Amino acid sequence: LDRELILAIESSCDETSVAVIEDGKHILSNIIATQINSHKRFGGVVPEVASRHHVEAITICAQDALDEAQVTYEDLTAVAVTMGPGLVGALLIGISAAKAISFAHNLPLIPVNHMAGHIYAANLVADLQYPLLALLVSGGHTEIVYMKAAGVFEIIGDTRDDAVGEAYDKIGRVLGVPYPAGKTIDTMAHQGQDTFNFPRAMLQEENLDFSFSGLKSAFINTVHHADQKHETLNKNDLAASFQASVTDILVGKIIRALKAYPVKQLVVAGGVAANQGLREQLQLALQAEQLTDVTLIFPPLRLCGDNGAMIGAAAHVQWVKQQPLAGLDLNADPSLSF
């Protein structure tokens, strides 16, 4: 009976998700209602549409999460919710639901940073050891994070412009690939070759920062020039060339980071962590650089995208460390950083 049960809510973008996590480790349920089909025809997430879907889905997801975990509100230890970063309207739906549950069932309310959630997804499949490095790659973020201890985040590298997932989605439009394009482009890349040799911005610079807008422009220009000349380019080769640039940049910078910050674990998190090319190239690079004492941790694919379980995993760390709880005045913070 003394098990710790956290109900965790995620609604920062286009998935409504509620999970029940036991003792920070066991996923008793992780219900994910995706809205992708509603946003596809717009080529990206429409914030107002997202909010409306969250309203419709949130109570159903919460009840499903409890049912699947075979628990009731009375069994819970706390309720956790993503407070940012994300779309303000979308975040507010999850926050309102969490507050209502907290108030009605007299439960502590744990506010969670979405990006911390992505990192702590790894805690559900491995035992994180500090210090560690995390490569956070999603639709909104491209960051290298140094964690000297649990709950302590330092951004040591960041993108100067587009996030890597955003770049995938933008070139996806040019290729006629539906949103979100990352997974399809990853598959296409495996059927093509790097024949275009797109730029690898900032790779040689002695810092840990990224830039993807030049790569995106080079890609778009290449396709437009071909269109004007009525040439057809091989889409798989385009995808492979784009992905080769992206992985070279990400891998190059993370190797640089590992040399500057010796750690035993490298966590790769966020939606783009699902990328097979990135997984393969990182593994090869660690061997080539003789960084074989670094353990590479990729959360399983179902925990790479946005989900409630990762929020529960992060909330557990905060709960154990007795970090500040939120009151019923909790507000969304759309640009929350670490």
| Annotated binding-site ranges | 114, 118, 136-140, 169, 182, 186, 275, 306
User: What does 162 bind: ligand KG4, Zn ion, none (CB cut-off 5 to 8 Å by kind)?
Assistant: none
Alpha-carbon torsion (48, 311, 97, 72), positive or negative: positive
Beta carbon of residue 301, minimum distance to ligand KG4 (angstroms, whole number): 8
Residue placing its CB nearer to ligand KG4 in the complex, 94 or 270: 270
- Judged by CB under 6 A, which of 254, 272, 282, 314 binds ligand KG4? 272
**In angstroms, what CA-CA distances link 100 with 33, 48, 95, 188, 215?**
20, 22, 9, 45, 45
Distance CA 201, CA 287 (A): 24
Residue placing its CB nearer to ligand KG4 in the complex, 36 or 226: 36
Residue placing its CB nearer to ligand KG4 in the complex, 146 or 168: 168
Distance CA 116, CA 105 (A): 26
Distance CA 83, CA 35 (A): 20
Q: Token digits for 22?
A: 């036991």
Residue placing its CB nearer to ligand KG4 in the complex, 71 or 157: 157
The DSSP 8-state label assigned to residue 74 in this structure reads G
Q: Which parts of 161-220 interact with ligand KG4 (CB under 6 A)?
A: 165, 168-169, 180-183, 186
- Judged by CB under 5 A, which of 121, 145, 306, 312 binds Zn ion? 306
The DSSP 8-state label assigned to residue 289 in this structure reads T
Residue placing its CB nearer to Zn ion in the complex, 186 or 306: 306
Q: Binding to ligand KG4 by residue 138, rule CB under 6 A?
A: yes
In the annotated binding site for substrate, the residues are 136-140, 169, 182, 186, 275
Residue 178: asked if its preceding bond is cis (omega within 30°), the reply is: no
| Alpha helix stretches (DSSP H) within the chain | 36-40, 47-69, 88-105, 114-120, 164-175, 182-189, 213-228, 235-260, 276-288, 301-304, 308-320
Residue placing its CB nearer to Zn ion in the complex, 143 or 306: 306
Distance CA 219, CA 198 (A): 7
Beta carbon of residue 229, minimum distance to ligand KG4 (angstroms, whole number): 29
User: What does 275 bind: Zn ion, ligand KG4, none (CB cut-off 5 to 8 Å by kind)?
Assistant: ligand KG4
- Judged by CB under 6 A, which of 117, 140, 157, 308 binds ligand KG4? 140
Distance CA 279, CA 269 (A): 11
Q: Token digits for 133?
A: 């490095």
Window contacting ligand KG4 (CB under 6 A); options: 74-82, 120-128, 266-274, 283-291: 266-274
Size of site (CB under 6 A) for ligand KG4: 19
Could you list the residues that contact ligand KG4 (CB under 6 A)?
Answer: 13, 138-140, 165, 168-169, 180-183, 186, 270-272, 274-275, 305-306
